[in-house]
Structure 1
């Protein structure tokens, strides 16, 4: 997977050939095709692997026992770390550059990546709403806003190469600010 990511990032999705990946790691086309189906399957496996890193940090059974602020902070920190990882930055760059030529690939990227993370967070918010910890008419939309706050302009600046990825401390500060701003928007009036 790492070799595939490097080739995709160096050559772009369209220019990447399975043979170039095999040249890096050895093996055969048959093995790659058996494992991933095709180049698109290999690219999506990279996406899923990175999203799984974020989502696996939140075993469903433990979520209900955490305070919402703690859950959002942990979710945001994991999400920020993945968004700023070399691999996901490369995946985002590919998705942006290939959107017009490969719309189905980009749609799958969104569904398996950002869309999946947003849906899991929406479930967390729905549970909090059911416990009357928050007020939110549309938890899916609220989750999308939270994810957008985490990604924000900082992520865009890094994707565009305008700045290097932030330090761990800077990422933590961004997440704390996003959690506080988000909670001010969804907490019941008496809790603000």
Structure 2
């Protein structure tokens, strides 16, 4: 399904600066997410989104650029709470294990909810045909999370809370531990979702094992 072409006067996406603009921005995000999950990304056009949310195509283009930009904004919006958890003002005052547990718990809870799983399935299904969509998803979600963990580990290496390590590689390893087979099982809908208590217990264990292995590793 093709989208309407970008208007000749197209300009890069802008952040809303008024209450009315923010309401329109949020309405478009909500409509896009609902339609993407119901029909699939490729089966939804910008016209469909505008019809669902109200407003105009020019508003959508002004705020998001195009359908792919809207998708990226949707992923960034969903990852915002996790991102802010590890960039909060108090995060550097916490013990390293507590900070990683806070981040990991927020990530796993968010990654295991129905909407996040639906978006992930849609990206995997579309990625062979639309690799740019997959790149936008990775940069706005998993890639952003890996970067913020790396930056946190960089600060802990700098203040000598951790030994000198390859923080980029270790950030990816920690995320892999936290998500693990649980995320895959939920993506494939093989089992009932784990409880909130089980998720928190898993993340606590992951943080303990991760830091124990890091500190016990030879230089």
- TM-score after normalising by structure 1: 0.91
2:60 pairs with one of 32, 41, 44: 32
Q: Which 10-residue stretch deviates more, 52-61 or 7-16?
A: 52-61
Q: Post-superposition shift, 1:135?
A: 2.7
1:47 pairs with one of 58, 62, 75: 75
- Name the residue aligned to 2:171: 143
Q: Which 10-residue stretch deviates more, 83-92 or 64-73?
A: 83-92
Q: How does 1:54-73 map to 2 (within 5 A)?
A: 54-59=82-87, 61-73=89-101
- Name the residue aligned to 1:92: 120
Distance 1:181 1:136, change over 3 A: farther
2:184 pairs with one of 145, 153, 156: 156
Distance between the aligned counterparts of 2:31 and 2:202, measured in 1? Answer: 31
Q: Given the alignment of the two structures, is residue 180 of structure 1 paired with residue 208 of structure 2, yes or no?
A: yes
Q: Post-superposition shift, 1:111?
A: 1.4
Q: Post-superposition shift, 1:146?
A: 0.5
- Name the residue aligned to 1:2: 30
Q: Post-superposition shift, 1:130?
A: 2.2
Q: Structure 1, residues 165-186: CA drift from partner, whole Å, max 9, x if none?
A: 3221111111112111111111
- Name the residue aligned to 2:130: 102
- TM-score after normalising by structure 2: 0.80
Structure 1, gaps ≥5 residues long: none
Structure with more contact order per residue of length (Cα contacts < 8 Å, sep ≥ 6): 1
Q: What CA RMSD, in Å, does the superposition of the two structures yield over aligned residues?
A: 1.6
Larger radius of gyration: 2
Q: Post-superposition shift, 1:52?
A: 1.6
Q: Structure 1, residues 120-141: CA drift from partner, whole Å, max 9, x if none?
A: 1111112212232223520111
Structure 2, gaps ≥5 residues long: 1-28
The answer to whether the 8 Å contact 1:134/1:188 transfers is: no
Distance between the aligned counterparts of 2:135 and 2:124, measured in 1? Answer: 11
